[in-house]
Amino acid sequence: MKSVYTEWTKAAVRGDWAKHLSFYADRIEYFRDGKLTRADVGSRKRRIFGGLDSYRLNFTQPQVRLRQVNGAQEADVNFDKQWRLRRNRKWVKGEARGSVTLRKESHGWRIISEKQIKNEKQIKK
């Protein structure tokens, strides 16, 4: 299951959004937006990152907590993330504590929730 997290983060760092999105379930509880489809999440991520001149993402090793929910195995994965985004020669740096919840399905672990669990800090340069 940690390998899913590792591959999901590596795909984001590379900007391989098709691979990154392949780890999501069909519907995801996405930040404050509520339930979104995988396609909606992809559109949002492509819109955000596509409008940048460049970016750098970093994810820490996760803390994982396994649990049973209604007979299904789930995992809460908490991690820190940092970013540097550049648009029009302006850099924005930030960091936040993130969390994804994965559920084990017949075809493997899928992300069913992504959220921020600690306020982000942004520093503009």
State pLDDT tens for residues 56-87: 999 999 999 999 999 999 999 999 999 999 99
Inter-residue contact 8 to 20 (CB < 8 Å): yes
pLDDT given for residue 122 in this prediction: 61
15/9 Cα distance (integer angstroms): 10
Containing structural domain, residue 63: 2-124
3-state secondary structure of 52: coil
Instruction: Give residue 107's pLDDT band: very low, low, confident or very high (50, 70, 90).
Output: confident
What is the four-CA torsion angle of 97, 115, 48, 25, rounded to 10 degrees?
130
Find the CATH number of the domain harbouring 57.
3.10.450.50
Provide the H-helix boundaries in 1-125. Answer: 2-14, 17-21, 38-50
Domain total in the chain:
1
